[in-house]
Structure 1
Amino acid sequence: MDLVNYLQDRLMFAVPKKGRLYETALNLLKGADIQFHRSKRLDIAICLNLPIALIFLPAADIPTFVGEGRCDIGITGKDQVMESNVDVDLGLDLRFGKCKLQIQVPRNGPYKKPEELIGKTIVSTFVNLTKQYFEKLEGVKPGEPLKTKIKYVGGSVEASCALGVGDAIVDLVESGETMKAAGLHPIETVLSTSAHLIVSKHPSHPELVEVIKSRMEGLLAAQKYVLCNYNAPRNKLPELLKVTPGRRAATVSPLEDDDWVAVSSMIQRSDMANILDQLKSLGASDILVFEISNCRV
């Protein structure tokens, strides 16, 4: 039975079934209140509180399923979308699974820059992105023959140079420890990537897509910001609001003491310590910071 027709009243949501994106993707679904129970033997789960069917697929296959309209939305890496060369919307950068697609060469080898690899053998799982990179490097048009040989390997790409399969590799790098252990180091970054919520050009339930995007944007904002509350002398308020302007504007409330006001503002988590130092030096008092579990901004 055609799954799309069988579940045509539901939005088809493709989710990584395993790998580096799996656990964080599940946490994101939980935070967005997409409730489901998945049987260990099934790659389909029906959402309990929304008209959604979750389809668990290899991350590399998700762009194709979404691009062909078999699924409406999906979570996968930008690298997989670019490699698949499909026409989908990169709807939302989910800001996890960050890594780089890099050209790596033997640390003690003769190659110091990408141009020196023209005419050599490059091993990669990402053969399309590697080919596109070397087409630009060689100055040839798509479809014209390359001097450089691009060879596909499905796994353990980092071992290719040591085993004499290739002169260099193009592979995803997170911390770089695996590459160092294999005696490799980077000479070029082909692509910086992270997980994205990708969307079909013609989703079956566009209004539900917007609901999901809004919920995930709220979760991302909650991760990026904290709520800062403090008391401020009225005569210092203009200076203090320059430090904590808020996303649109800070909330300012009167206190019983006419010379003071209460201020509430979202501040970036990454700059929190510096902002608190500035508030203190400008005369703010009773400075408190609260975690934001979820929001809409």
Structure 2
Amino acid sequence: NNLPISIVFLPAKDIATYVGEGDVDLGITGEDCVAESDVSVKVLMALGIGKCNLSVQAPKDSGLNAASLAGKRIVTSFPVITQKYFAELEKPGNPTHIKCISGSVEAACGLGLADGIVDLVETGTTMRAAGLEEVSVVMKSQAVLIMNPHSKHPELCEVIRRRLAGYLTAQRWVMVSYNVHRDHLKKAESITPGKRSPSVQPLEDKNWVAVAALVPKSEAASIMDELENV
């Protein structure tokens, strides 16, 4: 609320283009969308959410792989990435026939439109329901913060990046504090090394110290169990 910014909601696939070629300074979109847009943007940080694979998929038990699909019919909503990928596998004079559709890509093989597809896979549930299997990973993707390389507000962009990084740290890490005998400090520090280093403070009893360290939130319970045994 205290920053001079305007927030605009755009389709994920359009964001990289607006950031790279328009007047938008920052954007959040998937790495797959950045690659598909084929524009120049600066990736400031990975956000660790929306993780998935952009994969080549073929009918289950068909025996097809990425190399054998080169030169055949491929349906995708990522034609730029797909063209570049199969160009390296094609034999001279036998180009891959790539058709772009915007949705229901997984139905293309079953409905006779394609021999294989290139589509996003997160859990694989939709892929398996369509009778497909992953035969090759074209690229791994997750949400990223991107910046216009020609932004007129680089200082403000850095402030936003730092705030977002701080928020993500707060979501993923938790502070643990405990007292430990100096004889066991090294072992305790190996269990809680922190993001950079644990904070160690002396106590009134010179044989004991207070330790504070950031630990991954998902591992906090098991780490505390380990500390109990120190």
C-alpha contact (below 8 Å) 1:69/1:202 kept by paired residues: no
C-alpha contact (below 8 Å) 2:71/2:90 kept by paired residues: no
2:106 paired residue number: 158
Q: Deviations over 1:120-150 (max 9, x none)?
A: 100000011011110112277xxxx652111
Task: Give the aligned residue type for 1:230.
Answer: Y
SS at match of 1:61: helix
Q: Does residue 69 of structure 2 align to residue 121 of structure 1? A: no
Measured in 2, the distance between the counterparts of 1:228 and 1:139 equals 58
Percent identity reads 47
1:29 paired residue number: none
2:89 paired residue number: 137
Measured in 1, the distance between the counterparts of 2:196 and 2:59 equals 50
Match for 1:266 among 206, 214, 223?
Answer: 214
Q: Deviations over 1:47-73 (max 9, x none)?
A: xx3211111111111111111132111
Higher relative contact order (Cα pairs below 8 Å, separated by 6+ residues): 2
Output the TM-score relative to the length of structure 1.
Answer: 0.73
Q: Does residue 47 of structure 2 align to residue 94 of structure 1? A: yes
Measured in 1, the distance between the counterparts of 2:125 and 2:159 equals 39
Query: Where do residues 222-237 of structure 1 align in structure 2 (5 Å cutoff)?
Result: 222-237=170-185
Give the C-alpha shift of residue 274 in structure 1: 4.0
Task: After the TM superposition, list the runs of 4 or more consecutive aligned residues in structure 1 that deviate by more than 6 angstroms.
Answer: none
Measured in 2, the distance between the counterparts of 1:277 and 1:146 equals 60
2:15 paired residue number: 62
Measured in 2, the distance between the counterparts of 1:178 and 1:65 equals 31
Q: Does residue 115 of structure 2 align to residue 167 of structure 1? A: yes
Match for 2:29 among 76, 94, 115?
Answer: 76
Measured in 1, the distance between the counterparts of 2:10 and 2:57 equals 29
SS at match of 2:34: helix
Task: Give the aligned residue type for 1:121.
Answer: R
SS at match of 1:169: strand
Give the C-alpha shift of residue 74 in structure 1: 0.7
Give the stretch that moved more between structures: 180-189 or 242-251.
Answer: 242-251
Task: Give the aligned residue type for 1:95.
Answer: G
Measured in 2, the distance between the counterparts of 1:98 and 1:160 equals 24
Output the TM-score relative to the length of structure 2.
Answer: 0.94
Q: Deviations over 1:213-266 (max 9, x none)?
A: 000111121222211111101221122222222223211222233322211111
RMSD between aligned residues = 1.6
1:104 paired residue number: 57
Task: Give the aligned residue type for 1:138.
Answer: E
Match for 2:137 among 189, 198, 219?
Answer: 189
